[in-house]
């Protein structure tokens, strides 16, 4: 390239490597990407997931350690909906909500029902 690649270009190339399952190139690109965007958790996770797909568990664990070392924490997912004109936000893994237990019980029962593993009363 006639210029240095920025974080967006490196992330795009890294995800292309992941899509084509090119572990060798992905590893090389990650090494360059962390010099540009040390904090970008998506780059680490792409390579870690690729290693896991290839059953390279020790390499996947090494990426996890590298994330911790570089403080590249995985962002928590959330959803936002509007109900009766009020905004509600749901954060992945949230157990603080007043109805958290009831919500998770309902979700588990719904999942069992959808997967054909439904058992009466839970």
Domains of the chain: 7-69 (1.25.40), 90-114 (no CATH)
**56-67 pLDDT tens trace:** 999 999 999 999
Report the DSSP beta bridge partners of residue 114.
none
Q: Where in the chain does DSSP place strands (E)?
A: 78-83, 86-91
CA distance 26 to 31: 9
Q: What percent of the chain has pLDDT over 70?
A: 94
Plot region of 116 (φ>0 → left; ψ -120 to 50 → alpha; else → beta): left
**71-100 pLDDT tens trace:** 888 777 788 889 899 998 878 777 777 888
pLDDT at 4 over 80: yes
Q: Specify the pLDDT at position 75.
A: 75
Average pLDDT over residues 4-14: 92
| H helix or E strand, kind and range, residue 8 | helix 7-19
């Amino acid at each position: 390239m006639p210029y240095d690649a920025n974080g967006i270009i490196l992330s795009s190339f890294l995800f292309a490597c992941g899509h084509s399952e090119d572990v060798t190139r992905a590893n090389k690109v990650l090494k360059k990407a962390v010099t540009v965007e040390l904090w970008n958790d998506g780059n680490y996770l792409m390579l870690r997931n690729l290693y896991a797909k290839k059953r390279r568990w020790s390499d996947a664990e090494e990426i996890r350690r590298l994330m911790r070392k570089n403080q590249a924490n995985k962002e928590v997912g959330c959803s936002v909906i509007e109900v009766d004109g009020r905004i509600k936000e749901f954060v992945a893994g949230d157990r603080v909500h007043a109805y958290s237990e009831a919500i998770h019980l309902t979700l588990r029962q719904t999942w069992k029902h959808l997967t054909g593993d439904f058992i009466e009363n839970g």
